[in-house]
Amino acid sequence: MTTVLQGLYAIADTSLIPEERLVEKVGLALYGGARLVQYRDKSNDPGQREWQAVDLLHLCNSFRVPLLINDDVELAARIGAAGVHLGQDDMPIAQARALLGPSVIIGASCYDDLSLALQAERDGASYVAFGRFFPSHTKPIAIQANPELLTEAKRYLHVPLAAIGGITPDNAPLLVTSGANLLAVVHGLFAQGDICAAATQFARLFTKQKV
């Protein structure tokens, strides 16, 4: 699987998506054009986490789209996921890279801090994520970042930039023109009545860039 880290990054958060519709809803996002998927589950049921992650892995593989696991390096290694996304309180990036290998995708949350992003790149991150940029249903009290941060980060970093937090088709163009390679979307995708159509709206922002 050749991975280009650009486009819609679908964050499949089980606090928003009912268990019995997880694969269905992620499938709709993939049909709409999602280019990266993250499985995010904060429950304390390791068995459920594993079978849900395996189901999503099979689905994503059928679309040739990478599946990343939020926080859980051991789970990602066990099921053969394409990678992980790590926050500042998770396993250090360099340790995760040593465990998972050189070809696995490792994302790092950097909030509003360019220095964290620079260190993450040095430690082996495949991409860095900034945000939240707008009021967020998922993380309403998360640190606020400004779009200008993306423009500044583009000058110093050599890895792709992901933007997250309250992203909608209306405010997303500002983030793309500011330098975001990936739009990480939760509520703006999976809480919509037509997930496939919402995904297509986001995906088209990157198609327009190529014209």
173: CB partners within 8 A, 6+ apart: 205
Q: What pLDDT does residue 78 have?
A: 97
Q: Are 185 and 167 in contact, with CB atoms under 8 Å apart?
A: yes
Q: What pLDDT does residue 8 have?
A: 98
Calpha distance 87→152 (Å, rounded): 21
Cα dist. 141→136, 152, 183 in Å?
8, 24, 19
Q: Are 203 and 34 in contact, with CB atoms under 8 Å apart?
A: yes
What is the count of structural domains for the chain?
1
Asked if residue 21 is part of any domain, the answer here is: yes
pLDDT above 70: residue 147: yes
Provide mean pLDDT across the span 46-67. 97
Asked if residue 1 is part of any domain, the answer here is: no
* CATH number reported for the structural domain that contains residue 162 in this entry: 3.20.20.70
Q: Looking at residue 111, what DSSP letter applies?
A: E
> 140: pLDDT confidence band, cut at 50, 70 and 90?
low
- Residue of 25, 109, 136, 178 marked catalytic: 109
64 belongs to the catalytic site: no
pTM exceeding 0.75: yes
Q: What pLDDT does residue 144 have?
A: 84
pLDDT above 90: residue 43: no
pLDDT above 80: residue 143: no
Asked if residue 31 is part of any domain, the answer here is: yes
Asked if residue 111 is part of any domain, the answer here is: yes
Question: Comparing C-alpha atoms, which of 65, 67, 97, 91 is closest to residue 79?
Answer: 67
Alpha helices per DSSP H over the chain: 22-32, 46-63, 73-79, 93-100, 114-123, 147-156, 172-178, 187-190, 195-210
109 belongs to the catalytic site: yes
Question: For the chain, how big is the Rg over CA atoms in Å?
Answer: 16
- Residue of 40, 49, 97, 132 marked catalytic: 40
Environment class of 119 (CB within 10 Å of its CB; exposed 0-12, middle 13-18, buried 19+): middle
Asked if residue 34 is part of any domain, the answer here is: yes
Calpha distance 36→9 (Å, rounded): 5
- Residue of 42, 64, 78, 139 marked catalytic: 139
Look up the domain containing 72 and give its range.
Answer: 7-210
Alpha helices per DSSP H over 33-171: 46-63, 73-79, 93-100, 114-123, 147-156
Provide mean pLDDT across the span 95-124. 97
Query: Of all residues in the chain, what percent carry a pLDDT higher than 70?
Result: 94
pLDDT above 60: residue 58: yes
Supply the mean pLDDT for the chain: 94
Q: What pLDDT does residue 139 have?
A: 63
Query: Of all residues in the chain, what percent carry a pLDDT higher than 90?
Result: 88
Asked if residue 49 is part of any domain, the answer here is: yes
Which residue is associated with the tokens 């937090």? 165
Q: What pLDDT does residue 211 have?
A: 41
pLDDT above 60: residue 189: yes
Q: Are 11 and 181 in contact, with CB atoms under 8 Å apart?
A: no
pLDDT above 60: residue 136: yes
pLDDT above 90: residue 44: no
Asked if residue 147 is part of any domain, the answer here is: yes
Q: What pLDDT does residue 141 have?
A: 60
Asked if residue 2 is part of any domain, the answer here is: no
